[in-house]
Amino acid sequence: MERFRRDVYELFEELLEKQGYSRMYGQILAIIYLKEIPMTQEALERESDFSRSSINKAVNTLQNLGYIRKRKFGEGKKLVYYVEEGPKDILLSGFRSYISYLEKIHTRFSKLFESTPKVEGLPLKKLKDFINQIPQITKLLNDALEKIDKLDFVFK
């Protein structure tokens, strides 16, 4: 059983690492996912070898990515963390966050060009062409995700 758990942790670690995040985040996600009940940071600390501050950073990041949710527990101020999404949402979350990132990059580049239309010594045409491709790529990725969303029968 312990070997199986370790292998599952490793798979989640690799999943998050391929999205550019620490392997620790993958392990925290795996712990919460496998537990199937909401967990406090204290419980996560007991289940892992990570410090409370590392766990705090991980759960905040995982929550921002949409992998986990948090809510208040009981009468006190304790927070618990849980996984609400199914496998499809977890596996496609990386694509969704990348599309969101591309949209933000496009907005930042556009604002940069609005405020500084000419810069000596930079290949602006090449850079503008690069920037203008971002919305087209974002649309293609969104279209692909919509088609994948229609394949619900595969993920049941």
pLDDT of 97-139, one tens digit each?
Answer: 778 888 888 888 888 777 776 666 665 677 778 888 888 988 9
Give the Cα separation of 43 and 68 in Å (integer).
Answer: 15
Burial 18-51 (b: 16+ CB within 10 A, else e): eeebeebbbbbbbbbbeeeebbbbebbbebbebe
User: Who contacts 12 (Cβ-Cβ below 8 Å, separation ≥6)?
Assistant: 26, 27, 29, 30, 33
Domains of the chain: total: 2
64 and 118 assigned to the same domain: no
pLDDT at 121: 60
102 and 143 assigned to the same domain: yes
The parent domain of residue 40 ranges over 2-82
Calculate mean pLDDT across residues 1-5.
83
pTM over 0.75: no
76 and 11 assigned to the same domain: yes
56 and 110 assigned to the same domain: no
59 and 72 assigned to the same domain: yes
146 and 91 assigned to the same domain: yes
The CATH number of the domain holding residue 54 is 1.10.10.10
